[in-house]
Structure 1
Amino acid sequence: MDISRRQLNKLLAATGLTAFLPLRAFAETAAQAKGGTLNFIVEPEPPTILTLAHTAGGTQKVSPKITEGLLTYDFDLTPKPQLATEWLISDDGLNYTFKLRANVKWHDGKPFTSDDVAYSIELLKQVHPRGRATFANVTTVETPDPLTAVIRLSKPAPYLLSALYAAESPIVPKHVYDGVKIADVPTNQNGGAPIGTGPFVFKEWVRGSHIILERNPDYWDTGKPYLDQVIVRFVPDGAARAAGFETGEFDIGGDNPIPLSDLERVKALPNIDVDSRGYETKGDQTQLIFNLDNQYLKDVRVRRAIAHAIDLNVILNTVWYGYGHVSPTPISTFLPRYLDTSIKPYAFDLKASEQLLDEAGYKRGADGVRFNLRLTHNSYNEGFKRVAEYLKQNLTRIGINATIDSYDFSTYIKKVYTERAFDVTAEYLGNQFDPTLGVQRIYWSKNFKIGLPFSNASHYNNPDVDKLLETASVEIHDAKRQEQFFAFQKIIADEVPVVNLISLENVTVFNKRVKNHTIGAEGVQSNFAEVYIKDGEG
């Protein structure tokens, strides 16, 4: 009988077998129009346009158009070929063999080989915020020939095959980084003018305005991309972005590119549509992160007092206009397999907050103030500033004087993750498709590293939590893994190094003339090789 690849994968997983997965051609149902320019809204402007050492949302949208990964994914996260055409996993989960695509060239004309794969994985293991966990068990990457890469592991990594897409694990040209010290990789010039294998070639970056990407005439997928050009536009003002979609100036944007207060009105326009697909790899989670080096926030009673001063339903409905779910544990509601639903938010109770602060020895002074805190917020979305403003108001009610420091995105990253010049920050860290990759980085003591964006900003250190996270990261039995993640969530709920807030729902807003923009789990983080513009629509 005939069975689909998905059915085959399930059968193989159930029996413990593995097999090479052959290339499956993308079935085109209609002739694609060639040419045209796509105006792609990305906000805020990213600090770099290569995801090698950064997981900023803007970086993840731009980088894959230029620099590709080994795999891409269907909406159900079934892997599909990109730079790898076939893959084989050993029965013990310790060896991953990838057959690489032949006749692929870097944008500078050099050939793509297995040496690039081996070098990229070594870099990702050392400089990528999540890659340090993703590839932690990699002992070596062997290159028996130019088109074969074999990843050897010391322990199983049950999440590894899901982490190999371009926005997460880009493959970079080894020859570009020859002689570069590891410490200098994040600031290497290739981050600002990348050389990749992707369908679009970097042309220019005018800071504060735009990035221009041009069609790669030598792309390995003959006939693609269909577009001549992608112009990445940076427009800080949300109202201006909404107006641009209305007038047709902008073609597409992801992660709720216009203010949620305008979304219902804009999506009702005849030329505009929205798509909630393409976020299956994200698991978006918002949180308040405490700097545990702060003299006040070291005390768990103070952290619990602040948690009691927050009404998550108010944040959901007034800040995010109902686009999300209350999510009080480190694991997003979008990852139900590992979510402990028995954990509830701290009750909104200002009297309990006051009592805890009194017990901690921080009585109100003659002016009613107990102490001062510095609040900041990720500038990726205007909603995070509103979260900070909400927190400031409620902290005032319990005797904490809070000031808000607002920065552009690059400065924010530096202030929080390098200078540590904050006390509480309203942050946004996606769970991704697995807690080991998206959640562990926030709470794992070994991921506290000055200058590493989106890492353990709280400087949280609990050996029991470390052990649970490290054990879960290599556990191949899902029921045991679930138990480990449940135990981890209970400790975090009790110790509150972070107040988890809302799992956000995201949509892509697009002009109806833009086709094939969301064809898999990566959505607007894909390479856009399939995107085309159909004139006369929208």
Structure 2
Amino acid sequence: MSSPFSLRRRTLLLSTAALALASALPSLAWAQEPVQGGSISINVGSEPTALLSATNTGSAISIGPKIVEGLLSYDLDFTPRPQLATEWAVSEDGLTYTFKLREGVKWHDGEDFDADDVVFSILALKEVHPRGRGTLANVTEVKALGSHEVQVTLSDPAPYLLKALAALESPILPKHIFEGTDIPANPALNAPIGTGPFIFKEWVRGSHVLLERNPNYWDQGKPHLDQIVIRFISDPAAAVAALESGEVQVSIGVVPLTDLERLKADSRFVFETRGNGYINGILRGLFNLDRKELQDIRVRQAIAHVIDKQFIVDTVFLGNAKALTGPVNPAVAEFYTPDVETYPLDIAKAEALLDEAGYKRGADGSRFALFVDPMIAVGPQRQIAEYVAQQLDKIGIKPTIRTGDFGSFVKRVYTDRDFDLAIEPMSNLFDPTVGIQRLYWSKNIKVGVPFSNGANYISAETDRLLETAAQENDPAVRVKLFGDFQREVVKDLPVIDLVAPDSFTVYDKRIQNLVTTIDGNSANGADVFLSPA
């Protein structure tokens, strides 16, 4: 019987020589020899509810991967790189994945990393990760073939799976810390123990997270930095002030758009747009379909007809965004289609739809009231909420904008379900099965799990299209299925997809190798160094 590593079709097995070349490539691109030491401060904007993306996403994806790792990393062109896995193979039928794991790796508490950690993590992520139930839906068995070899068995092919193994999407957790616990409530999510290049030291709520160099990191000589400080400055004006004063050296998309051209012209900074191909973020308006008025499609259509997406692009984002036709970011070009139903700005039509639905204006001119909840209380999301509220008022829907911190928003929307229309960012990621299915699949209605099917949208046809596409190996057929999916959900309108903001990072030019992989700022930071002033 042949070894799993003799399997050829779609095998991504790296030879010793290839591994050596792959590990050398980053250094070939360096303008100078890496310098050891130093500290950088990174502003990620909103403060997450937990530091690991095992149970939530949001800004945790820029923090957790520096502490815990994934099986793989990916070059800027999505070519896989070894991380905790050194070799991998996929069977001819696409149903068996086999990974050889890195030996001699230690968890930050000194325990050995082995195959049991990987087996535990994959099965746990399938249950607790906001996207895990979809991404890992076809996984039927995960078993250790030895102390450093793991086999994953699928019921049906999952053509996207090999791209879903980065730390931000599929973090490998320490079994000895999480086994037998309620993972979402485990305090280790807030004080993580990982195998990565940086060790968690403290989280001062409302201020910062401190990470320090792992002296026993498996990639000897790395990381180059002694320390990374993660800051939570969500106000764009305060964020740019912190950047220009040197209080922070990296700002991940949190600066006023009115300052972009000035920052681009400032020789102290680098303006970086690479490294966003793993995330592909959008902004959307999420309806609560448990709300009586919003259960009527005519009401949702009326609201859609008063929102001018191009106005949001031009006025809120000053042109630094693209209007969306549906749930797929145009950057995910393979799957994007503009061939969907549209809801052009039409106040008269919106009024007629509300009348038809039985919500006529009262004596005071109002029909009913709605809450509008932006996830972030300042910046573009607040501006969008204000614009939407203004438009709702024109058609007799009386809006109230509510704001709070990130944790309050997540609890209100995904646990308490005390919302009507939420303005929130969402990651498409690199494939609709991974990034989008979770938001529309009826089997992913999971109260308490952030960024799942928060609308409580149920559609047998949408489920069929998503489930069929998830296991379809023919690329052309998958594209057609996802085109049909987009048409279906835009017609049903559980969400109004608004815009895809342009993604960028502004950072101090002394920082080298900040973006070398497709996940950009969500990489582990092991290669980052500071050049002399």
- Report TM bin, short chain: over 0.9
The AA in structure 1 aligned to 2:39 is: T
Secondary structure of the residue that 1:21 maps to in structure 2? coil
Unaligned runs of 5+ in 2: 1-6
Q: Who is 1:36 aligned against? A: 38
Contact in 2 for aligned 1:245/1:272 (Cα 8 Å)? no
Equivalent residue for 1:5? none
Distance 1:336 1:455 in 2: 23
Moved more, 374-383 or 443-452: 374-383
Matched length: 519
Displacement of 1:281 in angstroms is: 0.6
Moved more, 331-340 or 149-158: 331-340
Question: How far is the alpha carbon of 1:133 from its aligned partner?
Answer: 0.7
Choose which of 387, 410, 413 in structure 2 pairs with 1:413.
Answer: 410
Amino acid of the residue matched to residue 87 of structure 1? W
Q: Does 1:222 align with 2:220?
A: yes
Contact kept, 8 Å, 1:227 with 1:531, in 2: the verdict is: yes
SS at match of 1:429: strand
Task: Work out the CA distance in 1 between the residues paired with 2:112 and 2:291.
Answer: 51
In structure 1, the partner of 2:4 is none
| Higher deviation after alignment, 211-220 or 338-347 | 338-347
Q: Residue 242 of structure 1 contacts residue 266 of structure 1 at CA under 8 Å; is this kept in 2?
A: no
- Quote the Cα distance in structure 2 between the aligned partners of 1:218 and 1:508: 30
**Gap change, CA 1:265 and 1:344, over 3 Å in 2:** farther
Corresponding residue SS for 2:340: coil
Rounded to whole Å, the distance in 2 between the matches of 1:179 and 1:292 is 35
1:472 paired residue number: 469
What TM-score does the superposition give when structure 2 sets the normalisation length?
Answer: 0.95
CA distance in 2, matches of 1:317, 1:344: 22
Any unmatched runs of 5+ in structure 1? 1-12
Q: Give the deviation of 1:17 after TM superposition.
A: 4.9
Give yes or no for contact 2:271–2:505 (8 Å, CA) kept in 1: yes
Aligned partner of 1:258 in structure 2 is 255
Shift in alpha-carbon separation, 1:143–1:240, aligned structure 2, 3 A? same
How far, CA to CA, are the matches of 1:311 and 1:92 in structure 2?
47
- Contact 2:339–2:487 at 8 Å: present in 1 too? no
TM superposition shift of 1:266: 2.0
Match in the other structure for 1:377: 374
8 Å Cα contact 1:253-1:524 kept in structure 2: no
Distance, in Å, in 1 between the alignment partners of 2:411 and 2:373 is 12
TM superposition shift of 1:375 = 0.9
CA contact (8 A) 2:381 2:424 kept: yes
- Equivalent of 2:14 in 13, 21, 35: 21
Moved more, 340-349 or 383-392: 340-349
For residues 115-151 of structure 1, what are the alpha-carbon distances to aligned partners after superposition, in whole Å with 9 as ceiling and x for unaligned? Answer: 0000000110000011111111111111011110111
Q: Secondary structure at the match of 1:475?
A: coil
Is the Cα–Cα contact under 8 Å of residues 37 and 231 in structure 1 kept in the other structure? yes
* TM-aligned CA distance change 1:483 to 1:62, over 3 Å: same
Structure 2: distance between partners of 1:19 and 1:514: 32
User: Match for residue 126 of structure 2?
Assistant: 125
Taking the aligned partners of 1:95 and 1:300, their CA distance within structure 2 comes to: 43
Spell out structure 1 runs of 4+ moving beyond 6 A.
none
Conserved 8 A contact 2:410-2:450: yes
Identity of aligned residues (%): 46
For 1:342, the equivalent position in structure 2 comes to 339
- Check if 1:245 corresponds to 2:243: yes
1:80 to partner: Cα distance: 0.7
486-495 vs 295-304, greater mean Cα deviation: 486-495
Kept in 2, the 8 Å contact 1:107–1:195? The answer is yes
1:519 & 1:381 partners in 2: Cα distance? Answer: 31
- Local SS of the residue matching 2:295: coil
CA distance in 1, matches of 2:475, 2:518: 22
Matched to 2:150, the amino acid is A
Amino acid at match of 1:448: I
- Give the partner amino acid of 1:40: I
Task: Kindly report which structure 2 residues correspond to 1:138-537, keeping only aligned pairs within 5 A, or say none.
Answer: 138-180=139-181, 184-254=182-252, 256-343=253-340, 345-379=342-376, 382-536=379-533
Q: Which residue of 1 aligns with 2:3?
A: none
Residue 9 of structure 1 corresponds to none
Higher mean Cα deviation, 508-517 or 312-321? 312-321
| 2:426 alignment partner AA | L
Amino acid at match of 2:248: F
In the alignment, the residues of structure 1 paired with residue 241 and residue 264 of structure 2 have an alpha-carbon distance, to the nearest angstrom, of 12
Q: Please state how far the C-alpha of 1:16 moved relative to its aligned partner.
A: 4.5
Q: SS in structure 2 opposite 1:142?
A: strand
Partner SS state of residue 401, structure 2: strand
Shift of 1:177: 1.4
Query: Shift of the alpha carbon at 1:21?
Result: 2.5
Secondary structure, counterpart of 1:338 in structure 2: coil
Following superposition, the deviation at residue 19 of structure 1 comes to 4.7
Residue matched to 1:45: 47
Q: Is the 8 A contact 2:95 2:157 kept in 1?
A: yes
Contact 1:279 1:521 in 2 (8 A): yes
- Residues 197-242 of structure 1: CA distance to partner in whole angstroms, max 9, x if unpaired? 0000011111111111110000000000000011112223321210
Q: How far apart in 2 are the matches of 1:377 and 1:244?
A: 24
Distance 1:192 1:481 in 2: 38
CA drift of 1:327 comes to 1.0
CA distance in 1, matches of 2:12, 2:442: 37
Partner of 2:95: 94
Segment of structure 1 superposing worse, 217-226 or 266-275: 266-275
C-alpha distance 374-19 of structure 1, shift in aligned 2 (>3 A) = closer
Distance verdict in 2 for CA 1:483–1:381, change over 3 Å = farther
The secondary structure found in structure 2 opposite 1:144 is strand
SS in 1 for 2:117: helix
- Tell me the alpha carbon deviations over residues 308-361 of structure 1, each in whole angstroms, 9 at most, x when there is no partner: 001011011111221111112111111121112222531101011001111111
What one-letter code is carried by the residue in structure 1 that aligns with 2:14? L
Q: Do the aligned partners of 2:375 and 2:381 also contact (CA within 8 Å) in 1?
A: yes
Report the Cα distance in structure 1 between the residues aligned to 2:378 and 2:85, rounded to whole angstroms: 35
The offset of 1:267, in angstroms, is 2.4
Is the 2:107–2:193 Cα contact (8 Å) retained in structure 1?
Answer: yes
Q: Residue 273 of structure 1: CA displacement?
A: 1.4
The amino acid across from 1:529 in the alignment is A
